[in-house]
Amino acid sequence: MAGLSIKPGAGFGRLVLTVRPKIFRQLGPISATREHSKEGIMPIRSGPILILAFFCTWISGAALAFETKAQAAYVLDHESGTVLLAKQADVALPPASMSKLMTLFLAFEALRDGRLRWDERLPVSTHAMSYGGSTMFLDTTDRVTVEDLIRGIIVLSGNDACVVIAEALSLDGTEAGFAAMMTDRAKDLGMENSVFDNSNGWPDINHRMSMKDLAILAQHLITEFPEQYTMFSETEFGFDGRAPSNTRNRNPLLTLGIGADGLKTGHTAEAGYGLVGSAQQGERRVIFVLTGLQSQQERAEEAERIVTWAFRQFTSKTLSQPGEALAQAAVWMGSSRNVGLSLDGAPKILIPVTGGQEITSKVVYDGPLQAPIAKGDQVAELVISVPGLPETRLPLVAAQSVTRGGFLPRLRTAALVLLRKVNGGLSGT
């Protein structure tokens, strides 16, 4: 009998534990359902899920949709990853100077890896000096520190400074070679709709980025280079005084007192006026990207509207404490018939602060789960649906270990399976 082996039969499949709380109403029904068959559903204790139901009732609401004048836009809650607004977000469009963020990202990586030094002085080529538009007015007699070049890109939007950095890091010493590196690195970062032809966003039919890709890039800059990111909030950089008309940061939000601290503006005749921005209020950070606006004033007004809306209409809440069981999942052939399901850590979700719409939460897993199960194994998923926002999916892990059952539990399981088969046969006669 030690070798007793029982294969799962009817009753196995995807199980769903649903919670339907409503604001200021009694909690909705809690039910276990299986998506593929109605037979043999093993019981799930629903008590712990009431904690989640109460929480959802407390926070439920819906936010008004935001209508933007921008041709394309993307708004992201940084911590939770919740997309608050997406308008033509995956369309590859001319990014103008906003694509300078990719040059900065590669420069920061090179500084981190030791391939560049902040005090290193780089030469200025004829090609770099030839760029017009927004520049640092560099010439071929200059040797400029990396630190000044990076500030010149961030604050002054220097086209020439981008090329100096590009030629220093390119494998073949050319801006075109660096642009190929930018494209390859963007793909590595998950930027699926970005192709670069130059280092600074100079108009070119082959130079394109999507608003979502720019937000992804902003996330990487904020997360991977927190010390360097503080440079994006600098409002003025005089370099050596040679260009008094180009000393101020063009980001219109930095001085408004709304938590804005980056990142980069952009403008060409083809692209219109755009901005990759970020703002932090309290523990929340919002990243937003706009393009295709008609003027500097419209860009400033629309960016401020988006920041105000994102912070006032949404709030961040912690779902549960680490290790707190939200539900119980049935276990097959284990020393215990159930295992607690908890979130990994204490993740937060973003929810609207107004309205009275329903929030639906459900636990989904393929079950019953088969023992042995180790504490911390990902075994299920918590799916949260908030009206007006994308569905949130969070992994659920086993709150405790469950070993394989001994002789008696396995014998009991075998008897249950045989009984179900007998009952099924009798009901079919």
Q: What share of the chain is helix, strand, coil (3-state, %, to 5)?
A: 30, 25, 45
Q: Which residue has the higher pLDDT, 208 or 33?
A: 208
Q: Pick the catalytic residue: 97, 210, 320, 361?
A: 97
Torsions phi, psi for 6 (to 5 deg): -125, 125
Q: Which CATH superfamily is domain 13-61+319-427 in?
A: D-Ala-D-Ala carboxypeptidase, C-terminal domain (2.60.410.10)
Q: Domain-by-domain residue ranges, the chain?
A: 13-61+319-427, 89-312
Annotation marks residue 97 as catalytic: yes
Q: Computed from CA positions of residues 224, 230, 235, 238, in that sequence, does the dihedral angle turn out positive or negative? A: negative
Q: 166 pLDDT exceeds 90?
A: yes
Q: Which residues pair with 402 in a beta bridge?
A: 373
pTM of the model: 0.79
Choose the catalytic residue: 60, 80, 99, 100: 100
Q: Residue 296 — very low, low, confident or very high, per pLDDT cuts 50/70/90?
A: very high
Mean pLDDT of 406-416: 62
Ramachandran quadrant class, 18 (left: phi over 0; alpha: psi -120 to 50; beta: rest): beta
- Residues in the annotated binding site: 264
Q: What is the pLDDT of residue 336?
A: 86
- pLDDT at residue 342 is higher than 60: yes
Please give the Cα distance from 314 to 298 (Å, whole number): 24
Do domains 13-61+319-427 and 89-312 share one topology? The answer is no
Q: How confident is the model over 187-238, as pLDDT tens digits?
A: 999 999 999 999 999 999 999 999 999 999 999 999 999 999 999 999 999 9
Class of domain 89-312: alpha beta
| Active-site entry in 60, 80, 125, 157 | 157
Q: Is 13 left (phi over 0), alpha (psi -120 to 50) or beta?
A: left
Question: For this structure, is 362 an active site residue?
Answer: no
List binding-site positions for substrate.
Answer: 264
